[in-house]
Structure 1
Amino acid sequence: MALRNVAEAQGGVGTLAKKAHVGRESLYKTLSGAGNPKWHTLVSLCVAMGLNLRLS
């Protein structure tokens, strides 16, 4: 998943979990192929990574 690659590039999943105020294990599950993240989690991740999220 592309978000996992970005997470690794920004210091790893553990660091991102702290920035996003999300549990590390929960974040690993979210970023896995079997993950089914909630909207709030995706928004928190984008903010923590400095990404803009746009829907069209």
Structure 2
Amino acid sequence: MAIELTPTKIKGSKYLLIPKDLARLLEIEDKSILNLTIEESSKGRRLVYLVSERVPHHTEN
């Protein structure tokens, strides 16, 4: 599945916004963590995201 995203510029930085329907499909929530890997190939660069759920840190007493 491929979609086209246009970067959004905010105060000099560029962001890729995730459309609501795609976030819902991928089950991306406020507590989700996205890890980004950049892969180089002869066709260009590929951004690969791994979506995981934030694990709460437990403190020992």
- Compute the TM-score of the two structures, normalised by the length of structure 2: 0.24
Higher strand share: 2
More contact order relative to length (CA 8 Å, sep ≥ 6): 1
- Compute the TM-score of the two structures, normalised by the length of structure 1: 0.25
Greater CA radius of gyration, 1 or 2? Answer: 2
Higher helix share: 1
